[in-house]
Amino acid sequence: MKKTGAQIICESLLAEGVEVLFGLPGGSILPFYDTLSQYPQLRHILVRHEQCAAHAADAYARVTGKVGVCVATSGPGATNLVTGIANAHLDSVPIVAITGQVARPFIGKDAFQEIDITGITLPITKHSYLVHDAAELASIIKEAFYIARSGRPGPVLIDVPRDVQLEQVEYVPPGEVNLPGYKVPTRGHPTQLKNAARLINEAQRPLIIAGHGVIISGASEELKKLAETAQVPVITTLLGLGGFPGNHVLNYGMAGMHGTGYANRAIDNADLIVAIGIRFDDRLTGKISAFAPHAKIIHIDLDPAEIGKNVRVDVPIVGDVKVVLEAMLEMIEPREHLEWLRQLEDWRRQHPIEPAREGSGLLPQYVIRQIYEATGGDAIIVTGVGQHQMWTAQHYVFHEPGTFVSSGGLGTMGFGLPAAMGAKVGRPDRTVWLIDGDGSFQMTIQELATLVQDKIAIKIAIMNNGYLGMVRQWQELFHGKRYIATPLSCPDFVKVAEAYCIPGLRVTRREEVSGAIAQAMAYHGPFLISFAVEPEENVFPMVPPGASVAEFIEHPQKEVSVWPRQNTP
C-alpha cells in the first residue's frame, strides 16, 4: 500500500507507542500537520514556543519512561528547539525531535527558512537524520527511537524535507533494528564486580553517591537493598533525588554546591565512595583535587566516556546500573557501621539544613515545606532554575523516583512551566506542582495559554522576590553587593494568570500559605500562587567557587533543627 511520507511518519509513531506530540506548525512541516487529522490516536499539544515543545517532551519522558516527541518547522522553528534538545542531552533524556525542512531541490540554496539543523544539533544529539527518500522514513524512525531510549538515553533529531512528506511510496513496516557499530554494554566486568564487592565488604567509612543513572535504569530497589545490606549511607546528586527514599534512615541528603553540610563532610571523610550513575560534575565535586581525599572510588556507569573523565577511579564498572547492582548484591556481606553512622548523625546535628526562621518575613523554604506537607510527598515536583530550585531540593522530601523534574546539566531557566505541562500530560493521575522563580517563570510564561487550551491542571507556586535571585546571591557574596542587571520588574502574576482564565492568589504572609496551597489543590484546573518572599534571602549551605565540598558557607542565623526522619530502613 502506498502512503505519503507524512502518513509513514504517523504510522511509525503509532508503532513506537507514541500517544502525545508537543509542537508548533509552520510551512515546511505543514504536510505532516495536514495528515494528523487522519490519526486521532496521536494527541497534539500546541505550544506557544518551540523551545517549550522540547522541554515538555523532556519532562514527559522523565515521568513516563517513554520517548518524548516534539515537532517544529524549519528555520527558526528548528533552532528554537535547540535549547530543549541540549537540555535533554545533558540530562540523558530520550526525546525524538521531528523538524520540517525546505524541499530537497532548495537545500543548500539559502531558501526561505532553510537552516542546517542536523549540523547545528550535531554536538547535542545521539544521532541525527536528514531524510532524502520517503522510503527510508519508517526504518529511520524505528532506529531513532531505538537509539534515543537504549544505552545512555538522549535526543535524536529527524529532519524531513517538505517534499519528502508529500512523496508517495510503498509503505513497508521495518524489521528489527540492526546497528553493528552501536553496542551497549550492560553487565560489567566480572573481575571488577568482585573487586568492588571486596572494597565494600572491607570499608570502614563507605558512602554511596546515587545519581540520575539510578532512576534511568530503574535501579532504586537494588540501590536500597545494597545500602541496607551493607549499612552504607547514601547521598544523592540533584537529579538523583527520589532514586533513594528521602525519608530513609540511611539517606543523608543531596551533596555538592548547595548540598547538606553533613553530606559534604561525609564525602570528605569517607574511605570508599561508590558512585552509581553519576557524572562527577563540578557542582557535585567542588575543587577536584580536594574531592574525597581519603577514599577509594568505585564508579558504575553505562557510559564509558564518563569513567575517569573528571575524577580518578580505582574500580571502573561499565554497565547498566540495575544489572550491575543485581550482580553485586550476591557478593555483598551484611555489615554494620555504627561508629560511621553515629559520626554522620553528629554532623547532621551540627550542620542541619536551615529551617524557615521565625520573624523573617515570608521565606521560600517555609512555602516549599508547606507544599510538601500538603502533598505528603505524593506529587511530581517540577522546578525552573535558580534559588527556588535549590530550596526545593533541600526542603521537599522525595520518596520515589520520577517525582523530581528539573534542569540539571544545562541549568535552563524557563524549563519549569513547559516541563510541568509535559509531566502532567504524561502522568494525569498525579498532582503536579511547578515551583518556579519570577525570573525563570517569565521566560516561558506564554505557555499559560497551553494549559488552558489543553486543560492541563498543574499547580504553580512562584517564589516572587523581585530579583534574578541566584545571580544576585553571587553578586552579594562575591562581587561587593553590586546588583547589576539582577533587579526584576515583574508583572502582577495573578492578573496575568487571570488574563489567561487561570485563577490565582497573591500571598504575602506566612499564615496565608497553607490555605492558599489547599485552595490550589482543591481546584480542578490550573492554579497560580505568587508568593511575595523575602527579596534577599540566600541559599545555604553553599560551596564557594574554587573550594572543596568540605569548605561550605552556612547561614549566619543558623539554628540547630533536624526534621523528623524514618527510624528504620
Q: Check: CB of residue 28 under 8 Å from CB of residue 100.
A: yes
Q: Where are the beta strands (DSSP E) in 35-155?
A: 43-46, 68-72, 95-101, 127-130
What pLDDT, in 10s, does the model give residues 278-295? 999 999 999 999 999 999
Cis peptide upstream of residue 185 (ω within 30 degrees of 0): no
264 burial level (CB within 10 Å; 0-12, 13-18, 19+): buried
Cα–Cα nearest to 321, from 261, 249, 240, 376: 240
pTM for this one? 0.95
Mean of per-residue pLDDT scores for the chain: 95
Helix (H/G/I), strand (E/B), else coil: 14 = helix
Those residues with Cβ within 8 angstroms of residue 19's Cβ, 6 or more apart along the chain or in another chain: 41, 42, 43
Q: Check: CB of residue 347 under 8 Å from CB of residue 261.
A: yes
- CA-CA distance, 447 to 444, in Å (whole number)? 6
* Locus of grid cell 527518500: 133
pLDDT band at 186 (very low <50, low <70, confident <90, very high): confident
Task: Give the relative orientation of helices 261-269 and 338-350 as an angle to the nearest 10 degrees.
Answer: 140
DSSP annotation string for 402-434: TSEE---SS--TT-HHHHHHHHHHH-TTS-EEE
Which letter does DSSP use for residue 243 in this model?
Answer: S
What does the angle CA 340 – CA 346 – CA 352 come to, to the nearest 5 degrees?
125
pLDDT at 418 over 50: yes
- CA-CA distance, 450 to 533, in Å (whole number)? 27
The dihedral over CA atoms of 242, 248, 249, 252, expressed in degrees to the nearest 10, equals 10
CATH class of 190-350: alpha beta
3-state secondary structure string across 298-351? EEEECCHHHCCCCCCCCEEEEECHHHHHHHHHCCCCCCCCHHHHHHHHHHHHHC
Report pLDDT for 205: 98
Q: Check: CB of residue 249 under 8 Å from CB of residue 568.
A: yes
pLDDT band at 560 (very low <50, low <70, confident <90, very high): very low
Report pLDDT for 354: 74
> How many C-beta atoms surround the C-beta of residue 349 within 10 A?
12
**Does an H or E element contain 20, and which?**
strand 20-23
What pLDDT, in 10s, does the model give residues 191-226? 999 999 999 999 999 999 999 999 999 999 999 999
Separation in Å, CA 266 to CA 167, 345, 456, 558: 61, 10, 42, 20
What pLDDT, in 10s, does the model give residues 503-543? 999 999 999 999 999 999 999 999 999 999 999 999 999 99
Cα-to-chain-centroid distance, residue 7: 33
Report pLDDT for 564: 35
pLDDT at 489 over 50: yes
CATH class of 2-170: alpha beta
Between 77-81, 135-139, 264-268, 554-558, the lowest mean confidence (pLDDT) is in 554-558
What pLDDT, in 10s, does the model give residues 307-354? 999 999 999 999 999 999 999 999 999 999 999 999 999 999 999 887
> How many C-beta atoms surround the C-beta of residue 558 within 10 A?
17
* Locus of grid cell 506557544: 48
Cα–Cα nearest to 505, from 523, 526, 520, 483: 520
pLDDT band at 39 (very low <50, low <70, confident <90, very high): very high
Name beta bridge partners: 156.
96, 127
Q: What share of the chain in percent tops pLDDT 70? A: 97
Average pLDDT over residues 408-433: 98
HSE at residue 82, side-chain half, CA atoms within 13 A, is 16
CATH 3.40.50.970 domain locations along the chain? 2-170, 364-532
What pLDDT, in 10s, does the model give residues 110-155? 999 999 999 999 999 999 999 999 999 999 999 999 999 999 999 9
Q: Kindly give the pairing relationship between strand 404-405 and strand 380-383.
A: parallel
pLDDT band at 185 (very low <50, low <70, confident <90, very high): confident
User: Euclidean distance between the first and final Cα of the chain, in Å?
Assistant: 59
Report pLDDT for 359: 65
Q: Where are the beta strands (DSSP E) in 171-266?
A: 206-210, 234-236, 251-254
Report pLDDT for 401: 97
Cα–Cα nearest to 76, from 57, 52, 49, 43: 49
Side by side, the strands of the sheet bearing 43-46 are 43-46, 20-23, 68-72, 95-101, 156-161, 127-130
Helices (H), 406-537: 416-426, 438-443, 448-453, 469-478, 493-499, 513-522
- CA-CA distance, 200 to 333, in Å (whole number)? 9
Report pLDDT for 356: 62
pLDDT at 569 over 50: no
Average pLDDT over residues 449-476: 98
What pLDDT, in 10s, does the model give residues 51-105? 999 999 999 999 999 999 999 999 999 999 999 999 999 999 999 999 999 999 9
Average pLDDT over residues 440-444: 98
pLDDT band at 181 (very low <50, low <70, confident <90, very high): confident
- CA-CA distance, 365 to 357, in Å (whole number)? 9
pLDDT at 561 over 60: no
CATH 3.40.50.1220 domain locations along the chain? 190-350
pLDDT at 266 over 70: yes
Fold of 364-532: Rossmann fold (3.40.50)
Those residues with Cβ within 8 angstroms of residue 458's Cβ, 6 or more apart along the chain or in another chain: 382, 420, 421, 423, 424, 432, 433, 434, 451, 526
